[in-house]
Amino acid sequence: MIETPYLLFLGDAPDMLAAKVAIGIRDWRPDHAVGQISLPGCGADLGLTEMTLEEAKAAGAKTLVIGVANRGGIISPAWKEVLIKALEMGYDIASGLHNLLRDEGDLVAAAQTHGGTLHDVRVPTVGYPIANGVKRTGKRCLAVGTDCSVGKMYTALAMDAEMQKRGMKSTFRATGQTGILITGHGVPLDAVIADFMAGSIEYLTPDNDADHWDLIEGQGSLFHISYSGVTMALVHGGQPDALILCHEPTREHMRGLPGYSLPTLEELRDTALPLARKANPECQVVGISVNTQHLGEEEAVAYLKEVEDRMGLPAVDPYRHGAGRLVDALAAI
């Protein structure tokens, strides 16, 4: 559990693309961010109040969150200066970087001296159980994709936001470092030991009220040969009542795998649903989320209509048109 609110550290990020984590926090948990702090030459701007460490502290900030991916995986001396000063002032630090805060001697020393916590959210800190498959109370929705990086996290976050707006009971359940930094907790599934993957998802989505929905962040794809095992653990450990199929229609091959073509949405449905029903016989596919960012508006609308007619399920781009119809579909089961 990472203490909120945050001050978002943008460092010397060259552009907004590098600031994915910070953007996610600003968009999905704006109450978590009191402001942003940049170094000279920073090319990213979230449009939040630019603050010094002192100003953010006065505004209540508890944790300095590294909101950018750095180049070459190095925590530079320029970054260190800010991070160490933050620890001296009583901040915790949270990071999803590949190179860990805990491997930096000077950060560890400063954290120990000043009683701060270094959160490396890529590294599991819980001893997860082996999955036992016992039926849990409450409901769960899992986003599964035809490929990696097709919008599964965005879909779950958008559905959670819509459900909150409607006064429904829901929780976004993060399974990757960006999601964990956005919400402050979760399971870094890709770093969990094989035998405990499904158990970590059972742990993440425990018994709940009968009308509560966990929106589980998907990872990988059952069709992505590098990461399909991770996805499988979500399908079985998540015990989903509902699946949302996610797709990006312009992709020419599976991400990072030239020569591997994407499955169709039908193939995804016909593979994922029978597998999911092993863990939850009541599971249904309730809707389709399409990432239409590379299509024009007219093209996107036509594509969504074609998919909707073909599959007999609501097909939406939650980024363009909102997640309302996906939530309607969830609410109906």
Which residue, 268 or 330, has its beta carbon nearer to a copy of itself? 268
Applying CB under 8 A, the span of 26-34, 67-75, 95-103, 191-199 interacting with a copy of itself comes to 191-199
Q: Which of residues 265-324 bind a copy of itself (CB under 8 A)?
A: 271, 274-275, 278-279
In the block, tokens 């989320």 appear at 289
In whole angstroms, the minimum distance from the beta carbon of 102 to a copy of itself comes to: 17
Which residue, 177 or 292, has its beta carbon nearer to a copy of itself? 177
Which residue, 41 or 256, has its beta carbon nearer to a copy of itself? 256
And the tokens for 176? 């990757």
In whole angstroms, the minimum distance from the beta carbon of 232 to a copy of itself comes to: 4
- Rounded Cα–Cα distance for residues 302 and 293 (Å): 14
Helix (H, G, I), strand (E, B) or coil at 298: helix
Residue 163 host element (H or E):
helix 152-165
In whole angstroms, the minimum distance from the beta carbon of 147 to a copy of itself comes to: 12
Assess 167 for contact with a copy of itself (CB under 8 A).
no
CB 219 within 8 A of CB 227: yes
φ and ψ of 86, to 5 deg: -60, -45
82, 197, 244, 288: which one binds a copy of itself (CB under 8 A): 197
Helices 324-331 & 152-165 angle (0-180, nearest 10): 70
13, 158, 192, 216: which one binds a copy of itself (CB under 8 A): 192
In sequence order, the 6+-apart residues with CB closer than 8 A to the CB of 244 are 141, 142, 143, 144, 155, 156, 159, 285, 286, 287, 288, 289, 326
Closest Cα to residue 275, out of 222, 332, 320?
A: 222
Which residue, 193 or 333, has its beta carbon nearer to a copy of itself? 193
* CA–CA distances in Å: residue 289 to residues 70, 78, 148, 248, 316: 30, 41, 14, 9, 5
Output DSSP code: residue 2. Answer: -
The footprint of a copy of itself on this chain (CB under 8 A) covers a number of residues equal to 38
35, 199, 249, 287: which one binds a copy of itself (CB under 8 A): 199
Q: Report the 10 Å Cβ neighbour count for 16.
A: 15
Assess 225 for contact with a copy of itself (CB under 8 A).
yes
Angle at 309 between CA 304 and CA 314, to 5 degrees: 60
Pattern 123-162, a copy of itself, x by CB under 8 A: -------xxxx-----------------------------
In whole angstroms, the minimum distance from the beta carbon of 171 to a copy of itself comes to: 22
Assess 257 for contact with a copy of itself (CB under 8 A).
yes
- Rounded Cα–Cα distance for residues 128 and 233 (Å): 13
Output DSSP code: residue 294. Answer: T
Applying CB under 8 A, the span of 63-71, 76-84, 85-93, 255-263 interacting with a copy of itself comes to 255-263
Helix (H, G, I), strand (E, B) or coil at 316: strand
Applying CB under 8 A, the span of 6-14, 53-61, 86-94, 217-225 interacting with a copy of itself comes to 217-225
Binding residues (CB under 8 A) for a copy of itself: these are: 130-133, 189-195, 197-199, 222-223, 225-233, 235-237, 256-257, 259-260, 263, 271, 274-275, 278-279
